[in-house]
Chains A and B, each alone.
Chain A
Amino acid sequence: AQRVTQPEKLLSVFKGAPVELKCNYSYSGSPELFWYVQYSRQRLQLLLRHISRESIKGFTADLNKGETSFHLKKPFAQEEDSAMYYCALKAFGNEKLTFGTGTRLTIIP
């Protein structure tokens, strides 16, 4: 069975400082990894997926199969980045997403 771990429930970062939200997973096959975000009073939405290898709102995430990690990073935090962030995994051939427990990111002005 697959599992996603987000070790930090809460993370506070000063505006302009670098941000890293940690995500580790356990899965024996080739996973597909995602980051979802929920801003205050908004719906959960996709931020980025590892297969796209894109940067969204300045965020990037690299899949490290050796360390089984998919940490989310941004070099300079902005106040509008304050939100709840969820890491999620999809196993090969399976449509269900397995989510971590989430990290609440607060950007301090």
Chain B
Amino acid sequence: GAGVSQSPSNKVTEKGKDVELRCDPISGHTALYWYRQRLGQGLEFLIYFQGNSAPDKSGLPSDRFSAERTGESVSTLTIQRTQQEDSAVYLCASSLHRGQELAFGPGTRLLVL
């Protein structure tokens, strides 16, 4: 079956604009994660969704970042008033249940000019 998909694959935006990134997890996967990878750095945890439980938002770097997930389906990560330091690859991952192996998407490469 299809793996985790993300769109767009690349996004170039101007500083101050809002962007929305989309993640389609593997069907049936209850857990969904967003990570950010800046150039030359490791993956930074952003947010975690598990079923209908309240999400773990502890990794969101500022209130400009927000994410939603409807049930166990698609998730969107929104960055408002983008800054140049937001430039990174944003990775989405899903797993069948908490504690299971993560399946990563291809990422969205965001460039803020």
Contacts and interface: CB of A to CB of B under 8 A. Distances in A.
Contacts of B105: 43
B3 A95 contact: no
Instruction: Bin the interface of chain A by size.
Output: 10 to 19
A45 to B, nearest CB: 7
Interface in A54-94: 86, 88
A9 B39 CA distance: 13
Interface residues of B, number: 26
B90 interface: no
Contacts of B98: 95
Contacts of A86: 42-43
B33 A96 contact: yes
Contacts of B43: 44, 86, 88, 97, 99
A46 B106 contact: no
A85 B95 CA distance: 20
A4 B45 CA distance: 13
Interface of B: 3-4, 31, 33, 35, 40-45, 48, 50, 56, 58-59, 91, 93, 98-99, 101-106
